[in-house]
């Protein structure tokens, strides 16, 4: 029987869970990225309405914003995309979009903050890293979600995840196909690429 571990705070509990999954799954995160993820999870657990917005409209409306207001909205968009793709991938199917949609939109949001702040803020580098490590963070959240004994990607979503480089999706696809999958991509000209 597993030991019951009681944490003195929500922060301690999320930090322990993220650290444990990183160790078990050999995921390496910088201290800044790990801290950001822990605080994102805390913020989401206190305010689940983060996921109630229409993200594409929010992203479009950032073009009319400036300074801190724009950065905050872009951060919320990136965070929401990370939560959708990692914790709630089934929402992509319900909204008739792919996991790649959330990955690309989330990366764009974080990268936009970096580009906006690069000359003026020390935190700009954090957002560049979040954009670059988006898929690894998504995978980490998917592994956390899997701790209840089920995976949350169907085979089609696993293919979509593989297309954006998800190792978790690759593992799920291997389970469904009983082999090492090769992902084929058909471009707009109907050419098949490996």
Which residues constitute the domain of residue 84?
A: 10-193
CA–CA gap between residue 168 and residue 151 (Å, rounded):
10
Q: Is 3 contained in some domain? A: no
pLDDT digits (tens, 9 = 90+) for 67-95: 889 999 999 999 999 999 999 998 888 88
pLDDT digits (tens, 9 = 90+) for 132-190: 999 999 999 999 999 888 878 988 999 999 999 999 999 998 888 876 666 555 454 44
Would you say residue 193 has pLDDT above 80?
Answer: no
- Look at the chain and report how many structural domains it folds into: 1
Measured on CA atoms in the order 31, 50, 123, 56, is the torsion positive or negative? positive
pLDDT digits (tens, 9 = 90+) for 27-73: 999 999 999 999 999 998 887 776 677 788 888 888 888 888 999 99
pLDDT category at 192 given cuts 50, 70, 90 is very low
Q: Is 141 contained in some domain? A: yes
């Amino acid at each position: 029987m597993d030991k019951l571990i009681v944490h003195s705070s929500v922060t301690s509990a999320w930090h322990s869970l993220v650290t444990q999954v990183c160790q078990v799954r050999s995921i390496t995160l910088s201290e800044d990225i790990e801290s950001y993820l822990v605080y994102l999870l805390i913020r989401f657990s206190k305010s689940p309405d983060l996921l109630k917005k229409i993200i594409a409209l929010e992203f479009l409306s950032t073009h009319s914003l400036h300074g801190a207001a724009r950065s905050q909205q872009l951060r919320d968009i990136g965070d929401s995309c990370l939560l959708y793709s990692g914790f709630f991938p089934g929402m992509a199917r319900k909204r008739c979009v792919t996991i790649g949609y959330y990955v690309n939109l989330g990366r764009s949001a974080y990268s936009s903050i970096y580009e906006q702040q690069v000359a003026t803020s020390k935190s700009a580098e954090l957002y560049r890293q979040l954009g670059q490590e988006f898929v690894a963070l998504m995978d980490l959240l998917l592994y956390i979600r899997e701790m209840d004994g089920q995976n949350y990607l169907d085979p089609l979503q696993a293919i979509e995840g593989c297309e954006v480089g998800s190792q978790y999706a690759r593992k799920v696809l291997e389970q469904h196909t009983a082999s090492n999958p090769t992902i084929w991509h058909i471009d707009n000209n109907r050419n098949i690429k490996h």
